[in-house]
Structure 1
C-alpha cells in the first residue's frame, strides 16, 4: 500500500512481442563533421631569382636535359645488354666443351729409355676443375688476376676505373696497357667470344688468336656482354675451371695441368704455394716469365704473387715466408733443356701430319741418349772456354750416332737453343774438304786396289776450258814423291787423292759417295777429290757410319716409334730404317777402316787419340780454312764435329786436326769413360809382292788385275 493513496501502474518487465509498441530508442549523437581541407594551390613555377639564379639557370636546364636523356639511354642500354647477355647465355655449351680449344695437338718426345725430354706443339694435360686443383693454385690465380672474382657479375666497374686511372697516370690512353679485365672477361677472350677457329678465314692459329686479342672499344664491349652471359650460364667454379684449362702458360703449355707437368713434372692438384705462385705469375707474360726462359725472372714474379696472396689472406705469414725462402725450381727434365736441336730435327724429319701439323696428341720415342747428349754439350763448352778466344764468333756442331744410323746426340751450336733455332748439324751445307777423301779410297779398295799401292805425289796440272790450268798443292805445299795409299790418306795428301780419283773414275767416286748418303750435287771436275762439294754434318757422319757397319748405306734417324696418346697401336716404326743397301764390299770397308786408324795413330788426326781405344777417323779443312772437320768412330759410335763461321769467313789458326779433333776427343772421352773398349771391325791386309805406281800420266798405272777391273767398268 502506498502512502499517498493513489494507484500506480504495476512494475512489469518490458514485453517484446509482436504487435506491441517497440521500446523507444535513444537518439544517436550527431556525427562531427571534419573541417573541410582546403586544397593547396600549386605554386606557379617562378623564374630565376636574382643574378645568381639567372646565371645558373642555363646550367640547371642543361643538367635536367642530360639527366632526362641519360636515364632513358641507360635503361635502353641495360635492356640491350641484358638481352644479348641472355642470348649468349642460352648459346653456352656444357663447361667441358670449352676446356680444350686447341686447333693443333702436341708432340711429346721420349728418349730411348722412354723418359720425356721435349715437347712441341700445344700441350694439354687433360681436364682439371677448380674444385680439385691445389687450393694454393686457385687462390694464387684469383689473388693475382681478379680479387673480386667471387663478388662481381662478370665485369668490375671498380677494376675498370682503376685501370683507366693507372693508364692515364702512366701517360697512356685510357684503354692502353692495364685492362682491368676480370677473370670472366679474360676467359671470354680466351674463348674468342665463342667464335671457333675457321681455317678458311684465318691462315693460321696465330692469326686467329691475334684477332681474338684485339683491344678495340667495340671488342671490349662485346667481351663485357659475353662475360655477363657466362656469369648467367655458369657458376663461378665452372668459369674458373675453363680459365684454368684454357690459359696459355708458355713453352707450349695450354692450361695449368700441362704447365705443372712441363715445369715441375707435377700434378695441378699437388702444387705447393711457391709452385702455384710461379704458374699464376706467368699469366701476365707467359713467354717472358717462363722459368725455362729465365728462372730468376720467374721467381721474382712469383714473389710478387706470394705477397698478394698474403695480403688477401690466402697465405699465413709463415706460409708466405716459407714460399719466399724456398722458391719453385724446375724439374730435372725441364731444367736440363737439352736436345733442343735434336727435337727440332725429329719434328722436321717425321711425317708432317703427325709432327708439325698434328691435330692429335702424339707420343714419339726417339733414339736420343740423354747422357751422351749432356756429355757432348759439356765437351763443346769446355773446349771453347779453354781454347777459344772469348771474342770469337766461331760456331761448332756435333753429331753422335750408332753404326746403324741411330742418332744418340746432336749439338747444333755453341749456345743452348730455343725451338726453331738454326741447326748447324743438319741445316748448314758446307764444303767437306779432305773429310771427303775416304770415299775415294773406298772406291779404289772396292775395285781391288791394295792399301800398299803407290801414288806419285808430285806437281801436276789439269787443263780447264777457257781458264788457266789448275795446279793444286798439298796443305804443306810440298811434294814427297811416291807414297802408299795408307800414307796418302793418313797425312791427307791432296795430289795423291786427285790422281786416285781421276784414275778410278770421277763418276764412280761420285756414285760411291752418293750411295753412302751425299744428297747434293757433287763437283764434276778433278776438284771433286778435294771436297769442294757441300754436305751437312749429319750426312757426313751417316756416311762414315756406313764404313763402320761394313759398307752398307745408312740413313740417319731419330724417330723409333710414334703413337697417338692413349692408343697402344704404333702408327710408325723406324727401328729397322737405318741400314740400307750395300755400297762397297765388306772387306773393302774393313780395310778402309784399318787405313783410317792410321790417320789417328800416325797422321793428321793425332789429337783425337784415346788411350786403350781403337779409333778411325779423318780430318778435313776447306780452302781458306772456312770449314774444319773431324769425323771418327770407335766400335760403338760414329761422331762428327764441324767448326766454322756462320758468315763463311775463314777461321784463324784452325784445321780439322786441331780444335775439331780436340772437341771429338773431349766428347768421346766422356762418352767412353765407363765402357769396355770395343775393337774396330777392321782388316789389315798383307803387303803384296809388287805394286804399281799411279802417276796421273798413264805410264805404269796399276797392277794388271786392277786394270782389268777398270777396263770392264769403263769399256777401255
Structure 2
C-alpha cells in the first residue's frame, strides 16, 4: 500500500512537472510570436525608408549623369567653337560694324552711317584707368570667371522673378559682350543667349584675359559711329585715348550700357550722372581712391559738335527696323527711304522759326499711303537727339475730339444736328469752355469748329467713353486710353506720329494708314534684300462718317480755331491745347498730305501764349505751302450719303404733328391721337428726370446707330478693334432727330470746376 502510494505520488509529481513545462512552452511560444510581430513591423518601417532612399539615390544618380552628359556636351561645344574662332590677329584686323548709306525717295544720298575706328591700342598702351573703369561697371569678376559669371546669371534669374532693378550693369560679361559684338546680333532670344555663352567660354578658352580686354576696348560701340576707345576719345574729347583722364575714362565706360541715352553730345547731365556711378564703383572695388572718385566730371571739356541735319531724327526711327526687315548681315547696304529732301528742309525751317523760345517742336508729315515725307523730332539734334515726334507722349488737348465726333457720327449724328451748349456735370466733373461762356443752341459743325468742350463732354457721355476709346484704338492710337469723362478733352497721353496717322486715315477716306519710312534695301552691289509690299486696305468707318468728319475738320480751319492753318487751298484739321498752355497741337491735311505739329517744353511746364491755333498752326501752314505746291488742288468730299436706317421716311413729311395721328411708340404700344404725354420735354433724352420732378422710365444704354453687320457691309470688310465696343447690337428703328438735341446728364449744374480749355 505504501509502494502504491509512492507510485501515485510520483505520478502526480510527473503530471505537475508536465503541466508546468506546457505552461512554460506556451509562454515561450507567445513570446516568440510577439518577437516575430515586432520584427515584421520593424521590417515594414525599414522597407518604407529604404524606398525613399532608393528613389533619392536614383534621382541623384540620374541628375549626376545628366549633369555629366551636359558638361561633356558643353565641353565639346566650347571646344568646337574655340577651334572655329579666328585667330587673335584675324579678329584684330576685322571690322564688324556695318556701313549704311541712306537715300531719299528720289535716290539722292542724305546721310552715310558707319563705323569710325581710331588707332588700335595694344593692351599695354591702354590707360589703366580705362581698363579698370570698364571692368568696374561692366564685369567686376572679369578676371576670375570663365566667360560666364554664375553669380551674375543667378542674380539675373532672381531679378526676373522678383522684378528688382537695382543692378547697375547688364547680365552679360565682357567676354559675352565681345562674342555678341563680333559674331552675333542683338536679338533677345534664348537661342542667341545660349550661343553667346558658348562663344564667350570659347573666347576664354582660346585667348588670355589681356587679349579679350584688348579686343573689347578696341571694338565696343560707344555711340555716334565711334567704335573703340580711341575713336570715342577723339569724338568726345578731341584727343587720343592714351591721354584719357579718370573722369573721361568714367564717361566713356558709362556709354556702353546705352550709347544714345548717355552720350555727352546728346545729354550732358545724363552722361555726368552715369560717370559718377562708374567712379563710385571704381572706388568700391579698390581701383581708385576716394579723392579720385570725387573728381568733377562737369569740368570735363567736351568737343564741340558741328551742326547735324534734322534728318537724323528720321534715321534714328527708321534704321532700327532693319533688324526685323533683313537677315543678319554685316555687309554694306543702301537703304531707300520715303524722305523728301525739300520737305524735310521746309519742315525743319517751319519748326525752327515758329517754336516759342525755350520750347521744343516736332513735326510728322505723311503721304496718303503712310509714307513719311518729313520728320522733325526737335529743334536741335545735336543738343538733344530725343525724338519727340515718335517717342514723346503728351496730352493732345482738343485734337482728341476727332475720336469723340467720329463716334458721334457713327452713332447717328450729322454735322447739321442741332445741339445745346449748356453747363454740364458728369460724375462730379464739370468741364468749361476756354472763353468761360456757353453758346446755347448751335449745330454740331459749329461746336466742333470752335472746340466747345461742354458739347464734346455731352457727346462722349451719350455714345460712351469706352466707345470713344475704342474709336481711338481703331484709328491707330497705341498708347493707353483712359475712359474717365475727361478723356474727351484729351487727357490721355499720345504720340505725335499716332495722332498724325489717325488724321491721315480721314484724308484717305477712312482707310487705315500705317506710317513707314523704308521702301527697299539693297547691297552696295545692287542686290535686293528687301522691298516693301503694299498692305491690304482696311476701311475703318463708313464713307458717310468720313464725309461728316471731313466737313467739320474743314470748317475748323475755315472759320474756327484753326484759321491760322489756311494755305490758299482746302485744308481740314484740328487744334489742340492742354491746361495752362503746356502743349500746343495742330494736325490737318490737304491734297493728300497729312501733317501733325506739336510744341511744348520737355519738362511739361507752361509756355505763355502757346495755343494750338497759334504757333503750331502757323508752323503747319509754313510747311504745307511748300509741301503741296506741286500737287493739284483737291476739294474735299463732304456729301453725306446716309444709310437707309438714318434717313427719315418720306411719307412722314405728309403728316402733321404726331399728336394728330395714331403711331407706335418705341415699346410697340399703339398711341391714340391726342394721347401723347403733354408733359414730355422734347429736349430731354430717354431716361432723364423731367423738370416737374416726376421720374422718367429707366433708360437703356444709348444704342449704336448701326449694327456690326451693317458697318462691315458699308466699309467692305471686318472692322478692326471691334472688341472695344464701338459697333454693338443692332439698334431699335431710329426716329427722326429732334429739331434741337440737348445731351444733358443728371445732376447738371453750373460748373464750378475747371478742365483743360479746348482750342
**2:539 is aligned with 1:545:** no
CA distance in 1, matches of 2:614, 2:394: 18
| Counterpart mapping for 1:355-370 below 5 A | 359-370=330-341
**2:588 is aligned with 1:635:** no
* CA separation of 1:517 and 1:402: change in aligned 2, threshold 3 A: same
| TM-score of the two chains, using structure 1 as the length reference | 0.54
CA distance in 2, matches of 1:254, 1:708: 60
Among candidates 499, 513, 538, match of residue 554 of structure 1: 513
**2:655 is aligned with 1:682:** no
Among candidates 349, 353, 368, match of residue 382 of structure 1: 353
CA distance in 2, matches of 1:96, 1:434: 61
* CA separation of 1:359 and 1:497: change in aligned 2, threshold 3 A: same
Contact 2:365 2:596 in 1 (8 A): yes
* CA separation of 1:443 and 1:120: change in aligned 2, threshold 3 A: same
The aligned residue for residue 252 of structure 1 is 225
| Counterpart mapping for 1:132-143 below 5 A | none
Contact 2:364 2:389 in 1 (8 A): yes
**2:610 is aligned with 1:654:** yes
The aligned residue for residue 438 of structure 2 is 479
Contact 1:537 1:642 in 2 (8 A): yes
The aligned residue for residue 391 of structure 2 is 427
The aligned residue for residue 424 of structure 2 is 460
CA distance in 2, matches of 1:632, 1:491: 16
CA distance in 2, matches of 1:117, 1:246: 27
Deviation at 1:590, TM superposition (A): 2.5
Contact 1:550 1:587 in 2 (8 A): no
Among candidates 177, 195, 199, match of residue 204 of structure 1: 177
The aligned residue for residue 519 of structure 1 is 478
CA distance in 1, matches of 2:368, 2:359: 29
Deviation at 1:668, TM superposition (A): 1.5
The aligned residue for residue 740 of structure 2 is none
* CA separation of 1:205 and 1:648: change in aligned 2, threshold 3 A: farther
Deviation at 1:340, TM superposition (A): 0.7
Deviation at 1:650, TM superposition (A): 1.8
Deviation at 1:246, TM superposition (A): 9.8
The aligned residue for residue 110 of structure 2 is 117
Deviation at 1:625, TM superposition (A): 2.1
Deviation at 1:569, TM superposition (A): 3.1
Secondary structure, counterpart of 1:640 in structure 2: strand
* CA separation of 1:246 and 1:176: change in aligned 2, threshold 3 A: closer
The aligned residue for residue 581 of structure 1 is 538
Among candidates 391, 403, 417, match of residue 439 of structure 1: 403
Secondary structure, counterpart of 1:576 in structure 2: coil
* CA separation of 1:653 and 1:120: change in aligned 2, threshold 3 A: same
* CA separation of 1:548 and 1:711: change in aligned 2, threshold 3 A: closer
Deviation at 1:694, TM superposition (A): 7.4
Secondary structure, counterpart of 1:497 in structure 2: helix
Secondary structure, counterpart of 2:538 in structure 1: strand
Contact 1:352 1:358 in 2 (8 A): no
* CA separation of 1:707 and 1:359: change in aligned 2, threshold 3 A: closer
Contact 1:249 1:282 in 2 (8 A): no
CA distance in 1, matches of 2:605, 2:512: 33
Contact 1:618 1:631 in 2 (8 A): yes
Secondary structure, counterpart of 1:581 in structure 2: coil
CA distance in 2, matches of 1:442, 1:95: 65
The aligned residue for residue 101 of structure 1 is 95
* CA separation of 1:249 and 1:683: change in aligned 2, threshold 3 A: closer
| Counterpart mapping for 1:250-399 below 5 A | 252=225, 337-352=309-324, 354=326, 359-384=330-355, 388=356, 392-399=357-364
CA distance in 1, matches of 2:89, 2:729: 77
Secondary structure, counterpart of 1:437 in structure 2: helix
Unpaired runs of 5+ in structure 2? 1-84, 130-146, 149-171, 183-206, 249-263, 266-305, 654-680, 691-698, 708-726, 734-759
Secondary structure, counterpart of 1:547 in structure 2: helix
**2:396 is aligned with 1:402:** no
Deviation at 1:708, TM superposition (A): 7.6
The aligned residue for residue 487 of structure 2 is 528
CA distance in 1, matches of 2:243, 2:224: 8
Secondary structure, counterpart of 2:512 in structure 1: strand
Among candidates 623, 646, 656, match of residue 667 of structure 1: 623
The aligned residue for residue 467 of structure 2 is 508
Deviation at 1:580, TM superposition (A): 4.7
CA distance in 2, matches of 1:462, 1:415: 43
**2:574 is aligned with 1:618:** yes
CA RMSD across the alignment: 5.1
Secondary structure, counterpart of 2:175 in structure 1: coil
Deviates more, 1:597-606 or 1:449-458: 449-458
- Work out which of the two has the higher radius of gyration on C-alpha atoms and give 1 or 2: 1
Contact 1:449 1:706 in 2 (8 A): no
For residues 410-434 of structure 1, give each alpha carbon's deviation from its aligned partner in whole angstroms, at most 9, with x where no partner exists. 111111347x821111111111111
For residues 551-570 of structure 1, give each alpha carbon's deviation from its aligned partner in whole angstroms, at most 9, with x where no partner exists. 12211111212334446233
CA distance in 1, matches of 2:419, 2:333: 56
For residues 650-690 of structure 1, give each alpha carbon's deviation from its aligned partner in whole angstroms, at most 9, with x where no partner exists. 22121111111111111112323x42442143224499999
The aligned residue for residue 551 of structure 2 is 594
For residues 315-334 of structure 1, give each alpha carbon's deviation from its aligned partner in whole angstroms, at most 9, with x where no partner exists. xxxxxxxxxxxxxxxxxxx9
* CA separation of 1:417 and 1:541: change in aligned 2, threshold 3 A: farther
Contact 1:512 1:583 in 2 (8 A): no
The aligned residue for residue 78 of structure 1 is none
CA distance in 1, matches of 2:469, 2:116: 45
For residues 393-418 of structure 1, give each alpha carbon's deviation from its aligned partner in whole angstroms, at most 9, with x where no partner exists. 21111111112111111111111347
Contact 2:418 2:442 in 1 (8 A): yes
* CA separation of 1:352 and 1:120: change in aligned 2, threshold 3 A: farther
Contact 2:499 2:596 in 1 (8 A): yes
CA distance in 2, matches of 1:535, 1:543: 11
The aligned residue for residue 522 of structure 2 is 563
CA distance in 2, matches of 1:544, 1:483: 25
